[in-house]
Structure 1
Amino acid sequence: MTEAEITDSGPRRRGARSTSLLGAVAYATAAACLLPMLAVALAALTGGTDTIEHLAATVLPRYAATTLVLVSLVSAGTLCLGVGAAWLVTMTRFPGVRLFEIALILPLAFPAYVLAYAYTFVLDHPGIVQASLRAITGWGPRDYWFPEIRSTGGAAMMLILVLYPYVYLLARAAFLQQSATAYLAARALGSGPWAAFRKVSLPMARPAIAGGVLLAVMETIADFGTVAYFGVQTFATGIYTSWFTLADRAAAAQLALCLLGFALLLAVAERMQRGRAKYDQTGKSHAGLPPVPLHGWRAVAAWLLCALPVLLGFVLPVVILVSMGLDSEQDLLSRRYLGFLRNSLVLAGTAAVVTVCAAICVGYYRRLRPGRGSATAAYLARLGYAVPGGVIAVGLMVPFAAFDNALDAWMRATFGISTGLLLTGSIWLLVGAYMVRFLAAALGAYEGGQSMVPANMDAAARSLGQSPLATLRRVHLPILTPSLLTALLIVFVDVMKELPATLIMRPFNYDTLAVQAYRLASDERLEGAAVPSLVILAVGLLPVILICRQVRRHG
Structure 2
Amino acid sequence: MLKTHDAAEHGLPVPARATAPRTKRERHGGALAAAAAIALVVVLPIAALILIALSGSGADWPHLAENVLPRSSVTTLTLLVMVAALTASIGVVGAWLVVAYDFPLRRLLAWALVLPLAVPPYLAAYAFVEFFDFTGPPQTALRALFGFETGRDYWFPDIRSTGGAAIVLSSVLYPYVYLTARVVFLMQGRNIADVARTLGARPLKVFLRILLPVARPAIVAGVSLVLMETINDIGAVEYLGVRTLTFSVYSTWLNRGSLEGAAQIATTMLALVLGLIFLEQWARRKQRFHGARSTHMKARPPRVALAGWRAWLATIAVLTPVLSGFGVPFYIFGGYVSRRLDQLLEPAILDAFLTSLATAGCTAVLTVLAALVLLNATRLSRATAVAAVVRLASTGYALPGTILGLGLLFVLTGFDNFVDGAAQRWFGTGTGLLLSGSAAAVVIACSVRFIALAEGAIRSGLEKLPPHLDQAARSLGRTPAGSAREVLLPLLRPAILTAAVLVFVDTVKELSATILLRPFGFNTLATYVYENASRGVIEDGAVAALLIILTALVPVVLLSRALMRDAEATQI
Q: TM class, shorter-chain normalised?
A: over 0.9
The code of the aligned residue for 2:488 comes to: H
Name the residue aligned to 2:528.
516
Comparing 183-192 with 149-158, greater Cα deviation is found at: 183-192
Q: Note the alpha carbon deviations across 1:98-129, whole angstroms, 9 max, x for none.
A: 11111111111110111111121121235454
Name the residue aligned to 2:48.
39
| 1:342 maps to which of 354, 357, 376 | 354
Distance (whole Å) between structure 1 residues aligned to residue 481 and residue 300 of structure 2 = 44
Distance (whole Å) between structure 2 residues aligned to residue 456 and residue 106 of structure 1 = 38
Name the residue aligned to 1:545.
557
Name the residue aligned to 1:451.
463
Distance (whole Å) between structure 2 residues aligned to residue 126 and residue 104 of structure 1 = 28
| 2:274 maps to which of 264, 268, 280 | 264
Distance (whole Å) between structure 2 residues aligned to residue 294 and residue 183 of structure 1 = 19
Distance (whole Å) between structure 2 residues aligned to residue 525 and residue 446 of structure 1 = 41
- Report 1:331-370 matches (<5 A): 331-370=343-382
Residue 387, structure 1, aligned to residue 396, structure 2: no
> How many residues align structurally?
554
Q: Is the 8 A contact 2:215 2:290 kept in 1?
A: no
User: What RMSD in Å do the two structures reach over aligned CA positions?
Assistant: 2.6
Distance (whole Å) between structure 2 residues aligned to residue 162 and residue 490 of structure 1 = 17
| 2:205 maps to which of 195, 199, 209 | 195
Q: Is the 8 A contact 2:270 2:399 kept in 1?
A: yes
| 1:154 maps to which of 164, 169, 187 | 164
Comparing 270-279 with 482-491, greater Cα deviation is found at: 270-279
Q: Is the 8 A contact 2:508 2:548 kept in 1?
A: yes
Residue 166, structure 1, aligned to residue 176, structure 2: yes
Comparing 140-149 with 402-411, greater Cα deviation is found at: 402-411
The code of the aligned residue for 1:79 comes to: A
Q: Secondary structure at the match of 1:454?
A: coil
Q: What residue ranges of structure 2 are gaps of 5+ in the alignment?
A: 5-12, 568-572
Distance (whole Å) between structure 2 residues aligned to residue 328 and residue 225 of structure 1 = 24
Distance (whole Å) between structure 2 residues aligned to residue 493 and residue 388 of structure 1 = 17
Deviation at 1:426, TM superposition (A): 2.2
Q: Is the 8 A contact 2:39 2:389 kept in 1?
A: yes
Name the residue aligned to 2:256.
246
Name the residue aligned to 1:227.
237
Residue 424, structure 1, aligned to residue 436, structure 2: yes
Distance (whole Å) between structure 1 residues aligned to residue 101 and residue 285 of structure 2 = 31
Deviation at 1:246, TM superposition (A): 2.2
Deviation at 1:57, TM superposition (A): 0.6
Q: Is the 8 A contact 1:74 1:157 kept in 2?
A: yes
Q: Is the 8 A contact 2:188 2:290 kept in 1?
A: no
Note closer, same or farther for the CA distance 1:333–1:6 as it changes in structure 2 (3 Å cut).
farther
Distance (whole Å) between structure 2 residues aligned to residue 18 and residue 243 of structure 1 = 47
Q: Under a length normalisation based on structure 2, what TM-score does the superposition of the two structures give?
A: 0.91
Note closer, same or farther for the CA distance 1:14–1:423 as it changes in structure 2 (3 Å cut).
farther
Note closer, same or farther for the CA distance 1:246–1:327 as it changes in structure 2 (3 Å cut).
farther
Q: Highest CA radius of gyration, 1 or 2?
A: 2
Name the residue aligned to 1:314.
326
The code of the aligned residue for 2:42 comes to: C
Comparing 155-164 with 131-140, greater Cα deviation is found at: 131-140
Deviation at 1:18, TM superposition (A): 6.5
The code of the aligned residue for 1:475 comes to: V
Distance (whole Å) between structure 1 residues aligned to residue 19 and residue 336 of structure 2 = 68
Name the residue aligned to 1:117.
126
- Report 1:275-286 matches (<5 A): 275-279=285-289, 286=296
Q: Note the alpha carbon deviations across 1:502-548, whole angstroms, 9 max, x for none.
A: 00001221111100000001111111121110000011001101101
Q: Secondary structure at the match of 1:179?
A: coil
Distance (whole Å) between structure 2 residues aligned to residue 243 and residue 214 of structure 1 = 28
Distance (whole Å) between structure 2 residues aligned to residue 213 and residue 281 of structure 1 = 20
Name the residue aligned to 1:72.
81
| 1:186 maps to which of 191, 196, 201 | 196
- Report 1:39-58 matches (<5 A): 39-58=48-67
Name the residue aligned to 1:26.
35
Note closer, same or farther for the CA distance 1:219–1:418 as it changes in structure 2 (3 Å cut).
same
Q: Is the 8 A contact 1:107 1:165 kept in 2?
A: yes
Residue 294, structure 1, aligned to residue 306, structure 2: yes
Residue 434, structure 1, aligned to residue 446, structure 2: yes
Note closer, same or farther for the CA distance 1:192–1:243 as it changes in structure 2 (3 Å cut).
same
Name the residue aligned to 2:186.
176
Q: Is the 8 A contact 1:411 1:418 kept in 2?
A: yes
Q: Is the 8 A contact 1:178 1:289 kept in 2?
A: no
Note closer, same or farther for the CA distance 1:61–1:442 as it changes in structure 2 (3 Å cut).
same
